[in-house]
Structure 1
């Protein structure tokens, strides 16, 4: 039985429209907000086919040009104060997450956590994704204990996502009937993609985590389309039961409050922020204890 979400977690504010000259207005939006967290801002992109996949950066800037990055294994950046080498492990078998992290400019290795996700249950969606990301990190660390010397700063990135529709948590459907039910529920309505990203610094034991929750508004989805994708199966084997980035699904998305990378399962801005925070912390330890990684 799908878990019901607690009441009082949603709040809607005014709809946002893109400003002139390609700028995108930002503002508060209706989200699931974990207790103790401030309500975040998000971009809204109105879809018009494939071009809607990536909202424009402010002032026409390239999305990759406005900030420095720790690219590859060599990490030299005055801002973070950390010079030397860095290891990143992506704890996910998701092709989408691998593509997003690679597109961000990072080199990394991949490990998958062999856990029974259905055995991890929480009532609230934001608590569920956090618990699953933490469980994945714990499982991967157990496999690393015997072969990772920790001689270099090493970051492990794990994440999880569920969709929420009509107040009900939607994970990966377990049957064609459940997939059909999920997709029909989106028709003419709104769904939330609840993400939690966890960055574990394996060198220090510290963790940084956070939520990102885009909203997806749908047009009417005809039964013919639902029958087709359920029969084919390839578009339903994801959290929420519908692969939203598929070209055939895009025409049914009316608007997106958030970013498509977050819908795909790894919000870029949040992941970048958590990596930077973890590296900054490592840099401070390195300055205080110069031989901590030797």
Structure 2
């Protein structure tokens, strides 16, 4: 009998993306603290968070294959996480305005015996943003819970002039890499 698949994420975007792959799965929420350690690179940080989420899921569902994932935005070696308030979001969006940044999404697939992690980095370019555009965008409510204060799949997509890499990784779950990892465990 094939083990069940569990997505350790409360993100509706990750749920929708995993559904696109055609898998049957359940969802659990794990309580993983998202706090970067002083010595961690952005790559190490996003990898650890996805691993922590997957392993927390395995602890709750020990007979399942668990997917953990995390997404961060990186600009000038600075990790841009979810905004605390409008001023924080404005600061991040002004930093992204008119230039390129990286979106890093890590995916970990784990069970009791094994775990494997892949990090997908996508380069994203923004058009120059005005303060008025940023204010209107904030008022939409969309940036409030998004890394880097934007959602490429939503209204924030109007700011993106080009990407190099995986669109789905920017949304929150790289489809190709997730599917490849799952095949190793099924």
TM-score under structure 2 length normalisation: 0.92
Shift of 1:186: 1.1
Distance 1:91 1:223, change over 3 A: same
The number of equivalent residue pairs is 185
Q: Distance in 1 between matches of 2:158 and 2:46?
A: 28
SS of residue matched to 2:181 = helix
Q: Is the 8 A contact 2:32 2:49 kept in 1?
A: no
Shift of 1:96: 0.5
Match of 2:44 among 124, 127, 130: 127
More helix by share: 2
Shift of 1:250: 2.4
Match of 1:158 among 68, 74, 80: 68
- State the 4+ residue runs in structure 1 displaced beyond 4 angstroms: none
TM-score under structure 1 length normalisation: 0.60
Q: Distance in 1 between matches of 2:65 and 2:54?
A: 11
For residues 99-150 of structure 1, the C-alpha deviation after alignment (integer angstroms, 9 at most, x for no partner) is 00001101100001112212x5253111001111122123223333xxx5x3
CA-atom RMSD in angstroms:
1.6
Q: Distance in 1 between matches of 2:156 and 2:6?
A: 31
Q: Is the 8 A contact 2:51 2:117 kept in 1?
A: no
Match of 1:261? 168
SS of residue matched to 2:57 = helix
Structure 2 gaps of 5+ residues are: none
Q: Distance in 1 between matches of 2:24 and 2:125?
A: 34
For residues 21-50 of structure 1, the C-alpha deviation after alignment (integer angstroms, 9 at most, x for no partner) is xxxxxxxxxxxxxxxxxxxxxxxxxxxxxx
Q: Distance in 2 between matches of 1:117 and 1:189?
A: 27
Q: Which has the larger radius of gyration?
A: 1
Structure 1 gaps of 5+ residues are: 1-83, 280-294
Match of 1:238 among 126, 129, 146: 146
